[in-house]
Amino acid sequence: MFQVLCGAVAGGGAGAEGALGPGHTARGNESRVRRAPQPHHAHRGMTDEEIDATASWKRSHWREMQTILRREGSQHDVVECCPSVLEMVAKKGGRTPTGLYVELYEDGENKQRLYELSCAPDVADKPCRFVDARLYNQSRCVQKYSYSYALVRYSSATEMPQRHRPEGHFSVPGSGGWSMDYVIVRAGCECQITPPKRKSAHRKRFERHRQRKKNRRLEEDDDT
């Protein structure tokens, strides 16, 4: 048995490495992204061509999702709606929760490495997999972020007064200005659904009035 997972996000606070664990394997299998036919407007009916195109897309999309489920389900216990990739990165610097840029510790070949869980290539800002066809165009995969504890050094341009330093920050004595603080890391790829905008009462009345006028014209045409 396997599960479909929508919005896999690493836990915050303790950092991505602690939330994922060393046994987590990277997954970057993504599907072809195709937009569903746009929904018809409420004030008019769908043509036969539009109905056929929508039905054809739904059948094709369903077959594609079933193929992905079989392929990825045979390899993993969980299949993600928004595939992610686990990476170990060594960066020159990073951002603190307050937005300050800090230098990440390195000493020659000894470089500080952090775990990041990124959206797989060509996944971010694309529609989610496995969502209901009616919500497909309202869905998108979003890169999420968390914090990881790291050994950092503030530059003179970003140095904070001692009284303004956040909880969790502390200096390492005799380290040449290095201190421990949180830095922002990628921590998952989440599926988000945007609700359709609700029409105002004025807009609804206008559309009802226009529909009544259209119906009257059709009735008059039938009488002639």
CATH number, domain at 18? 2.10.90.10
**What does the pLDDT look like over 14-60, one tens digit per residue?**
444 433 444 444 444 444 455 565 554 444 577 878 777 778 878 88
| Averaged pLDDT of the chain | 76
Cα-to-chain-centroid distance, residue 102: 26
Q: What was the pLDDT predicted at 143?
A: 96
Are 98 and 123 in contact, with CB atoms under 8 Å apart? no
Residue with tokens 């359709």, as numbered in its chain: 196
Q: What was the pLDDT predicted at 21?
A: 43
Q: What was the pLDDT predicted at 183?
A: 95
How many domains is the chain partitioned into structurally?
Answer: 1
Query: Exposed/middle/buried for 178, CB within 10 Å: 0-12, 13-18, 19+?
Result: middle
Nearest to 123 by CA among 185, 30, 35, 5: 30
Residue with tokens 């396997």, as numbered in its chain: 2
Residue 87, pLDDT > 80, answer yes
Residue 173, pLDDT > 70, answer no
pTM of the model: 0.60
Q: What is the DSSP letter of 77?
A: S
**What does the pLDDT look like over 133-156, one tens digit per residue?**
888 999 999 999 999 999 999 876
The percent of residues in the chain predicted with pLDDT above 90, rounded, is 32
Domain that holds residue 156: 3-223
Residue 125, pLDDT > 60, answer yes
Residue 8, pLDDT > 50, answer no
